[in-house]
Structure formats: structure tokens, C-alpha cells
Homo-oligomer: A and B are copies of this chain.
Amino acid sequence: MSRPERARAPAELQPETSPGHGIAADLIAVLVAVTGGEPRVLTLQDARALPSGPFELAHRSLQSGLRAWVERQTHHPLGYVEQLYTFADRDRGLGSDQRVISISYLGLTREQPAAGDYEASWQSWYLYFPWEDQRLGVPAIIDDVLLPNLTAFAEAAPNRLLRQERLNRIAVTFGLDGKPWNEELVLQRYELLYEAGLIPEARRAKPELGPAPVPSRSMVLDHRRILATGIARLRAKIKYHPVVFELLPDTFTLLQLQRCVEALAGRLVHKQNFRRLVEQQQLVEETGQMSQDTRGRPAKLFRFRREILTERAIVGTKLPISRS
């Protein structure tokens, strides 16, 4: 979104396919659910790939193709679906003649599906981006590993101007020098780490460099990049569109709602202000029942007021995410 041309991960070596002409289309899904206080994403291949499949002619549209395919695989309805990005860069592998267009989607689902076939599993997305979880404060990995390495990367710049530019980029994306942490810059942070050569994807073509210094789980091809795009999109979206409710059960307490938002945003929010906004926006209504949770004062159960989707302009709801 920010820069016109993306720094793309070089392709993994793939077996040569028979040179065909024509273009194939793939669907790639970032499927998100929140369980156990963690935002999770559906993965395949030992948690190293996002689910993907060919777009078939039988499908009515791209979205219906994705829905059909996901629901067949997870046996769960897909709540909210949104297109992420389409790319067809030449360096994605698959030989040179055969060109693949990949259309990525973000999908929200309510429950942990019975991760059906294959080696499907739900993984916390902070497994792939440990520096993105700031709920318990700034993660140690940032000060211990990322910043030293990033600073070294900046110092290694060929000239003063570029050096300054890199330092500034580090400060902006990681919230240094008094700048605030911006949880939406997931993709920018990933790209910075990529360019600095700190993650495995950036070293695939250069095995002589040795292992990547940043301990975090990688993915096949550019799937981690697509995941970063999905996280960034979702973090931005929850602020002005009530999509969080697609991740929650039908009835929930306000604290559950808050924890869900916090899990996605990777940061804590001020409880009182959060409730104030949720209620004055009339996003929820009481069910009349109380939560049966054990400890603490029992909380009222709420349900999402679906009506507001039509009542109000579809754009314009907001959820607060505090800055400090």
C-alpha cells in the first residue's frame, strides 16, 4: 500500500512444470479466528503455508470460489470475507512460462473449525510476528535482537543520506524517538526486516549468509508477507468497521469483546473508554443474561446489533485503541 513496488521474496526453487501458455489463477486465504486470547490463522504444511487452491472455472465468482473451497475444507461457515491483494510477480517460482496470478483473501470465522483434512492447524499469528504482540509491553525480542541488527543494517548504508533514511524508517515503524507505536505498520516492519536481511526469506538465495538472526517462524514462498498484509488490513479495519463480531460467539461479555480486539491489535485498551465507545455507538445490546464465569463480578451478556449495518452508513463505526 505504501510503496508502489513491493520488495518481494525471491522464489523457492520449484520443480519445472511443463511449459504451458495461458495463465493460472490461485486463491490464497488468510483465515483468522480468535481463541484462547490469541489471534490464530489457518495453516497447512506443518504451519509453513497458508491454505491455497486453484480458481476453477466452475465458480461463479472469486469470492464464491473461495467460500466454497474454504467451507469444504473446514466444514465451517465463513463469516466475513474481503479481498486483500492480487499479484503476479514473475519471481514467484513455478517455472518461467507458466504464470500464476494469486488473489489473496482475508476471511474471519467464528469458531475453531475441526481442522479437517491434511495437516491443517491453527497457529497464533504472533508465532510468525513475535514483535507484533505488545500486550504485555514491548517484547524482549525487539530490544534484544531486532534493534541491534536493524541499527547495524542502517550503519552499513553506503552513504550518509541512505543511512539517515534507514534510521528514520526504523524509528517510524518501531515507534522510537518519542514516535508512537503504530500497530498497523505490520507490513512495513516485515519489509524492513526483509530488506535488512534479518529473516530467512531474505536469505534463501544466499545460503552463504548463514541462519537468519531473528527467531521467528517463516513460511513458504511469500506467504508470510501475505499474512502480514492480512493482519495489517484487519488491524486497520476493526477501528472503523464492526468486523470483530464475526470472530466472537453470538453472546459475549464486554471483556471478551475487549480481549478480542486487544488480541488482534496487539495492544491493550483502556477498559472504561472502550465500554463508553461501544455503548454510545450502540454496537451491542444486552441479552438480559449474565455470564457464568467463575471468578470476579459476573458480567452482563451482550449480542451484536446487526441492524446497525443497515441503520448507519456502513463506514463510520469505530473502536478505540489507546496509544500508550
Contact = CB atoms under 8 A, between A and B. Distances in A.
B21 A188 contact: no
Contacts of A184: 315
A185 interface: yes
Interface string A24-48: 1100000000000000000000000
The contact size tier of chain A is 35 or more
A89 B60 contact: yes
A188 B81 contact: no
Contacts of A127: none
The quantity of this chain's copies bound in the complex is 2
Interface in A132-167: 165
A172 B83 contact: no
A88 B62 contact: yes
Contacts of A76: none
A99 interface: yes
A169 interface: yes
Contact of A315 (B4, B85, B88, B182): B182
A101 to B, nearest CB: 6
Contacts of A60: 89-90
Nearest to A92: B61
A24 B99 CA distance: 11
Which residue, of A8, A57, A81, A85, has the highest number of chain B Cβ atoms within 10 A?
Answer: A57
Interface string A66-81: 0000000000000011
Contact of A182 (B8, B61, B316): B316
A169 B313 CA distance: 9
A294 interface: no
A146 to B, nearest CB: 17
Interface string A43-57: 000000000000101
- Give 5 closest A-B pairs by Cβ, nearest first: A22-B22, A2-B314, A86-B86, A61-B89, A182-B313
